Amino acid sequence: MPQKSRINYNPSLSIHENAERCGVTDAAIRKYISEQGIDRRYDEQVKKYNAVRLYLQTHKEAKPSEVAKALGMSLNTAKKYMAMEAPPAKPTTDKISKVNLSKLSAPIKTVDKDQTAILSGILRLYCNNAPTFDCDLTTSEGVFYKYGIPRPTYCYDKYPVDETVRQLEDAELLPDNSFKSIVIDLPFIVDEYVDSKEVRSMMQKRFSHFSSNEELYRTNSAMLSLVYRLLTANGVLVMKTQDYWYKGKQEWVALYVIEEARKLGFELLDQFLLIAKTKLLKQSYRQRCARKMHSYFLVFRKP
């Protein structure tokens, strides 16, 4: 049987950081990058684009010299990325980008442990190979965009974590047919779980839960309607969601989302399963159903 590689390459880290994290030498990481045909240069561009964009959102008046100093890049590099209005275009070489799987010949799988791989696969399959999505309505800290996928131009949240993210109310005022692709990732737990120490430590972020099942379902429906209105014809919704166990009952949230979306007119294009690396939610003492070890990325199209 072929030996499993010890290398779990992360495109957002330096070669040395990758080496330290995987317990191998820098040379081993370089060999891995070369053997896998990874386009490190493109990934670096995406990283720089993201960094400059984030900085400018909180320092709107910053001059290139300030950006260069703050981000440790040359003046010319800062100028180049400040002038970019969209994420860098994907290269046309045979090399693959670890964060953008557009050149990967392997088929895109329905199941993965890496959400960046799932999101990249969705971009490739359903968003015309775009480098990123047009809009994220639940951006939070933007974990989706930490590993190379550029941040969407339009980032919103009901509780923005900083000035880089706009208020969700602003999105509600946008005209119909504003975006070709939208991402949503609503909280998937209700407050009872948050009271448990285990989940509190896992979900330390504010506003990451609903106060009741009703609120969870109501918000899912309201967000689906908003997205339907904001998407262009043929526009794509990517919705992360998860089922859970609450007060002795299984809550089939994904099924609910699919049914509600279909009622609005959405077509379900695909379903991806993100496999949890650790347990997702507290299980009741006596096990009554299979432990949830996955969440979903549902992909819908507005006809």
Contacts with ligand SAM by CB under 6 A lie at: 138, 140-144, 157-159, 168, 185-187, 207-208, 219
The minimum distance between CB 197 and ligand SAM, in angstroms, equals: 20
The minimum distance between CB 156 and ligand SAM, in angstroms, equals: 9
Give the three-state DSSP class for 183: strand
Tokens 């099942």 — which residue? 213
Question: Is the separation of the CB atoms in 108 and 59 below 8 Å?
Answer: no
Q: Which is nearer to ligand SAM, 39 or 185 (CB)?
A: 185
The minimum distance between CB 93 and ligand SAM, in angstroms, equals: 29
Cβ burial of 132 (10 Å; 0-12, 13-18, 19+) is buried
Positive or negative CA dihedral for 149, 155, 159, 164? positive
The minimum distance between CB 51 and ligand SAM, in angstroms, equals: 17
The minimum distance between CB 83 and ligand SAM, in angstroms, equals: 27
Q: Which is nearer to ligand SAM, 41 or 218 (CB)?
A: 218
Residue 76's alpha-carbon distances to 83, 85, 86, 170, in angstroms, are 11, 16, 18, 34
Q: Which is nearer to ligand SAM, 158 or 282 (CB)?
A: 158
Q: Which is nearer to ligand SAM, 1 or 173 (CB)?
A: 173
Positive or negative CA dihedral for 223, 256, 302, 140? positive
The minimum distance between CB 81 and ligand SAM, in angstroms, equals: 22
Quickly list DSSP for 80-96. HHHH-SSPPPPP-SSPB
Q: Which is nearer to ligand SAM, 56 or 168 (CB)?
A: 168
Q: In the complex, which residue's CB is closest to ligand SAM?
A: 140
**Dist. CA 64–CA 26, nearest whole Å:** 32
Question: In what helix (H) or strand (E) does residue 184 lie, and over which residues does it extend?
Answer: strand 179-185
Q: Which is nearer to ligand SAM, 120 or 138 (CB)?
A: 138
